[in-house]
Amino acid sequence: NAGVMQNPRHLVRRRGQEARLRCSPMKGHSHVYWYRQLPEEGLKFMVYLQKENIIDESGMPKERFSAEFPKEGPSILRIQQVVRGDSAAYFCASSPRGGFPQETQYFGPGTRLLVL
Amino acid sequence: TQLLEQSPQFLSIQEGENLTVYCNSSSVFSSLQWYRQEPGEGPVLLVTVVTGGEVKKLKRLTFQFGDARKDSSLHITAAQPGDTGLYLCAGAASNTGKLIFGQGTTLQVKP
């Protein structure tokens, strides 16, 4: 049973370009969470999605960032017009059920974004 | 805003020593999870504690959830070099299940 998959594992962008990060949840999981880990910091929640719905985007920056989880295909975290401060590791996690505090979230290996 | 303070941030010890990592908050969490993260990888769940006062053991690791569900500790007995890594505590928000992470503890165990 494959775990959470993220690609690319490493992404280099120049300032002003767009970054697209993909997350395929574990089989049977329909809930996806995105987290960001800045250098020397812990993980920070960004957004929680179910299939075709954004449930909680309280951690998303107001501009340039968007996320989706379509009916078919992976979840996408999109960053437009990247800036150097966006350089970080982005992790997604999936769970079979969302909204339950005791529910285990399984993390992917992350995408390391470097903005030059 | 729910926050988790994790301490210490860095810990370097000799093989065979014991250590404790603390995770504290002024907020109540529905559950608290401990993860370990290797360089270049995502966090891997070690344990979830749910009930106030709960104690769970995983080989040489002992996890405790405070009675008021505001704090937790991780105790490692007779640390080994293989325990080296980043340890993260995370509290689950009651409404959506999103995780609030502590800053992490970087542990180095020298042979």
> Over chain B (111 residues), what is each successive 10-residue block's mean pLDDT?
89 97 92 91 92 94 94 96 95 80 94 95
Q: From the list B42, B95, B101, which residue is nearest A42 (CB)? A: B101
What is the distance between the alpha carbons of residues B23 and B33, in angstroms, rounded to a whole number? 10
Interchain contact, B41 vs A106, CB within 8 Å: no
Strands B71-76 vs A65-68: parallel, antiparallel or unpaired:
unpaired
Interchain contact, A55 vs B96, CB within 8 Å: yes
* 3 state DSSP class of A93: strand
Q: Which residue has the higher pLDDT, B31 or A25?
A: A25
Range A62-77 burial, b when 16+ CB lie within 10 A, else e: eeebebebeeeebbbb
- A102 interaction partners in chain B (CB closer than 8 Å): 30-31, 48, 50, 92
Please report which confidence band the pLDDT of residue A98 belongs to, taking 50, 70 and 90 as the band edges.
low
* 3 state DSSP class of B15: coil
Task: Work out the minimum CA distance from B90 to partner chain A, whole angstroms.
Answer: 9
- Which residue in chain B is spatially nearest to A39 when comparing CA positions? B103
Q: Region A77-101: what's the mean pLDDT?
A: 90
Token code pair at residue B44? 């891997």
Per-chain mean pLDDT for chain A: 92
Residue-wise pLDDT tens digits, A29-54:
989 999 999 887 789 999 999 999 99
pLDDT of A101 = 63
Please report which confidence band the pLDDT of residue A14 belongs to, taking 50, 70 and 90 as the band edges.
very high
Q: How many CB atoms lie within 10 A of CB B4?
A: 24
Residue A100 reports pLDDT greater than 70: no
Residue A64 reports pLDDT greater than 90: yes
Interchain contact, B101 vs A107, CB within 8 Å: no
